[in-house]
Amino acid sequence: MITARGLSKSYWVARHRRGALGAMRSLVDRSGREVRAVRDISFDVAAGEIVGYVGPNGAGKSTTIKMLTGILVPTAGEATVAGYVPWNQRKSLASKIGVVFGQRTQLWWDLPLIESLELLRFVYRVPVDRFQANLTEMRSLLDLDPFLETPVRQLSLGQRMRGDLAAAVLHEPPLLYLDEPTIGLDVVAKARVREFLARINRERGVTILLTTHDLADVEHLCRRMIIIDRGRLLYDGSVEALRQRHGSHRTLVVDLEAGATIDGFVRDGVELVRADGPRRWLRFDREAVSAASLISSVVARAPVVDVAIEEPAIEDIIRGIYEGGLRAEPAVSE
Amino acid sequence: MRLYFEVARRSFQRHLTYRVATLAGLFTNAVFGIFFSSVYRAFYQDGERGVVADFTLPEILTFVWIGQSLLMLVYLWNWWEVADSIRTGDVVSDLMKPMDFQLYWLSRDLGRASCHWLTRFVPTFAMGALLFDLAWPGTISTWLAFFISVNLAILVSFGWRFLLNLSAFWLLDVRGINTIAVLVLNFFSGLLVPIAFFPGWLRTVAEWLPFRAIVMVPVEVFLGQRTPQSALLIQAFWVVALRLLGQVVLNAAVRKLVVQGG
Ligand SMILES: Nc1ncnc2c1ncn2[C@@H]1O[C@H](COP(=O)(O)OP(=O)(O)OP(=O)(O)O)[C@@H](O)[C@H]1O
Ligand SMILES: [Mg+2]
């Protein structure tokens, strides 16, 4: 469904100038700096897969998706999506893909949701009967009825997102790009979005490429994930393998009393990974060691002022891979 | 085609709901219409001028009121909807849809214009006709030619505004452009002073620019100063030229598209 080879995108950020004169000067003087948003990324997505595309802020996720929709032309590299080269055949590709940018809407702000959906029927030339059938299904799957007649600008974020999801699938695209579809949603709304995505993937065989900052989205939906950071591909593989390698560890952070030390502390399944002043980071395997027993054995050894337990967050895993390859550092931010 | 019709229809309906803006706009048109009419009347009567550059007093008053009536219909100033969507990045989802981007915006504009025919042109012109002695066409065919000419003026104006809006792909801030555009349009469309009043060389410049096709040409048709054929030729030329230019610039813009934000 998607083949990307060596995709790269650099932005040229021009120096900003103020006012009318500044605008004129920017036309002639093109000084600025280059931002390499995506660097040499290659991957394939097979039909029917749900792939999580994750990475910290500014990693290049949205940029990649924009290239794969054809809206951005890459600086280098190649891609085919549903048989098309996106940036050369944007219009032909458009009817094969559905897109949701969580931070924007493709609905018309001043029209009631239902009117937006009807306009999209004309945009994508969906036959009336197919449209009606899909609309009926979406109305029940996404529970659209309470706000079908509400202008989009008055919808809550969660309602708008459901409207956008319906809009993205009404023309029955075989491929769906979702850029942060759960951003800003509460737990219930998130669950509903996930359920909806799982369902159209299962029942309609829709291929999904999804970016998110919520690891739970990936855990619920994706068997495979791609991790990028600073434009580079760091990991492409199963979520399960990643979790086993990095996710089963937690970190105990202890602040020792001044002058105290736990150097030489040894216990199975526990590793002292970092020391900074009176603070120590102990990485432990949650299956082998319970937090309570670990704390008590540390306290038995040295006077402790404070303790905290840190779960491996998606960013930690990403950073862990980025910094230490497979030897996950429990990078703790201070 | 159905899409563009549906888009226009919704835009028409939306603009119908802007009642307060319409009333405020009509009031402004009336104030400026009366002001300019009084100035011209004083100019003609106190100077005991009969005809100035081919315009009699009723004709110049007609020019004033057509100008006021057309202002919003051709949306002479400050239309930055496309530029705004470029700046906010909303343009992305429009470009991603399998539709003709320029035609889409044209449909929106035509829906708006259809509304403004009713809510802005007709009332403003009627006001002028009630308050002043205007010059009326002698034949139905002149009325018809005028109607066609105004619609072409809307298309020319759209073509120009669309091009101007596309500059937002290159410039983060269009305010500078806006200032210059308002100045140029006020002057070279013939809104402020009929182009026939310009000194020779300036008139030549005005005749080579598209802007007179937006205000001056329909006025000339109404007053019988220009044949419908010549008006059609000028306006149709600019409609086609601007549409093609818009397409070329749009393609260039999309090629080097840099959408703001993530
Ligand atoms: N239009 C642009 N002009 C210049 N630089 C840009 C532009 N869009 C993105 N960038 C830069 O490219 C890099 C990647 O941005 P991108 O939006 O793809 O990241 P992302 O992974 O989607 O991040 P987030 O999780 O915050 O949405 C960032 O450094 C960003 O500042
Ligand atoms: Mg993003």
Cβ of B133 under 8 Å from any chain A Cβ? no
DSSP A122-180: HHTT--HHHHHHHHHHHHHHTT-GGGTTSBGGGS-HHHHHHHHHHHHHTT--SEEEEES
Q: What burial class does residue A275 get, using C-beta atoms within 10 Å of its C-beta: 0-12 exposed, 13-18 middle, 19+ buried?
A: middle
Q: pTM of the full predicted structure?
A: 0.82
- Amino acid identity of residue B217, one-letter, is V
> Does ligand 1 come within 6 angstroms of the Cβ of A62?
yes
Give the minimum alpha-carbon distance from A94 to chain B in angstroms, rounded to a whole number: 6
ipTM of the complex: 0.83
The residue range of the domain holding B180 is: 2-260
Cβ of B184 under 8 Å from any chain A Cβ? no
pLDDT digits (tens, 9 = 90+) for B101-111: 999 999 999 99
Q: How confident is the model at residue A32 (pLDDT cuts 50, 70, 90)?
A: confident
pLDDT digits (tens, 9 = 90+) for A178-203: 999 999 888 988 999 999 999 999 99
Cβ of A101 under 8 Å from any chain B Cβ? yes
* Rounded percentage of chain B residues whose pLDDT exceeds 70: 97
Pick the residue whose CA is nearest to atom 25 on ligand 1.
A57
Specify the pLDDT at position A34.
87
Least confident of A200-204, A242-246, B10-14, B60-64: A242-246
What residue ranges do the domains of chain A occupy?
A: 45-244, 248-311
Tell if the CB–CB gap between B95 and A73 is shorter than 8 Å. Answer: no
Specify the pLDDT at position A332.
35
For strands A50-54 and A207-211, give the pairing: parallel
Strand partners, B143: none
Specify the pLDDT at position A326.
40
Cα A232 to middle of ligand 2, angstroms: 15
* Rounded percentage of chain A residues whose pLDDT exceeds 70: 87
What domain count does chain B have? 1
pLDDT at position A323 over 80: no
CATH 3.30.70 assigned to A248-311: yes
pLDDT digits (tens, 9 = 90+) for A153-175: 999 999 999 999 999 999 999 99
Residue A209 exposure: Cα atoms within 13 Å on the Cβ side: 27
Pocket test for ligand 1, best of B87, B88, B256, B259 (most atoms within 8 A of CB): B259
- Chain B CB contacts of A94 under 8 Å are 96-98
Specify the pLDDT at position A333.
32
For strands A270-276 and A304-310, give the pairing: unpaired
The residue among B59, B65, B4, B6 whose CA lies nearest residue B34 is B65
pLDDT digits (tens, 9 = 90+) for A257-288: 988 888 888 888 888 888 888 999 998 887 78
Q: Terminal CA-to-CA distance of chain A, rounded, Å?
A: 42
B196-234 in b/e form (b: 16+ CB < 10 A) is bebeeeeeeebeebbbbbbbbbbbbbbbbbbebeebbeb
Q: Do domains A45-244 and A248-311 have the same CATH topology?
A: no
pLDDT digits (tens, 9 = 90+) for B166-207: 999 888 788 889 999 999 999 999 999 999 999 989 999 999
Residue pair B33/B64 in contact (Cβ under 8 Å)? The answer is yes
- Mean pLDDT of the residues in chain B: 92
Give the minimum alpha-carbon distance from B162 to chain A in angstroms, rounded to a whole number: 19
Cβ of B9 under 8 Å from any chain A Cβ? no
Least confident of A30-39, A77-86, B63-72: A30-39
CATH 3.40.50.300 assigned to A45-244: yes
Least confident of A153-162, A306-315, B119-128: A306-315
